[in-house]
Structure 1
Amino acid sequence: TVSVMKEAAEDRSWRVRLTFAKHFDLFCAAFGPEITEGHLMAPFIQLLKDNEQEVRKEAVRVIEACLQIKTPLTPAQLTTHILPQFPSLAIDPAQPVRAALAQLLGPMAKALGRE
């Protein structure tokens, strides 16, 4: 259920949060855009700010997969929730997080179009 997903995203164990981050695209596909927007997006954004660099890196990496599912994240969701996190991720102290962000820029630009 959605409450279990939210609890996993906020779990004390970084490995549980890492697993949630790695599979966020599957959760988006399973729950649909409305539930993702209303219940899962806020915990996911917190994973982009997580203390563990592995969690942050996987959260950034999974965004590209979220753009390729049957009902992908909408441009509105991207600009409202995901894009505002980019400045802090761009200066992240962990190089793997910055590298994952760099790989995401092309697919994000394609998903957002010429706006």
Structure 2
Amino acid sequence: MKLNKYQRFAKAIVETGTFAAAAKECKISVSTAYRWNRKPEVVDYVRQLKKAKMNALSAYMTKASGKAVDTITEIMNDAEVNAQTRLQAAMFLVKTGYERLDMDDLEKRIEALEAVASKVK
């Protein structure tokens, strides 16, 4: 798919992280970059690209999370590791577990509120 000038600019914003660098890459002035950045199609495409990037990162993190938990558990259980480090590993696992429970609870509450809201409409 061939990108139009606004989409190329949006892609440059996401890849470079700054309007100045994106402007330079697209061979436009910085003032034009700021003006283009107010266009809904640029804002929407930047949002789409950032979302796709975050989805890819999330998938990678999900894939690596099992190994990360195994590593933290190994550190926690290794008697040769400094006690403070083992305590931090244990505390991390407990804290993360509680945060997950809180997130699950919030998700259920939001779903219930959305169900009520859809009936009100």
Bucket of the pairwise TM-score, normalised by the shorter protein: under 0.3
Larger RCO (alpha carbons 8 Å, 6+ apart): 1
Tell me the TM-score normalized by structure 2.
0.24
Tell me the TM-score normalized by structure 1.
0.25
Higher helix proportion: 2
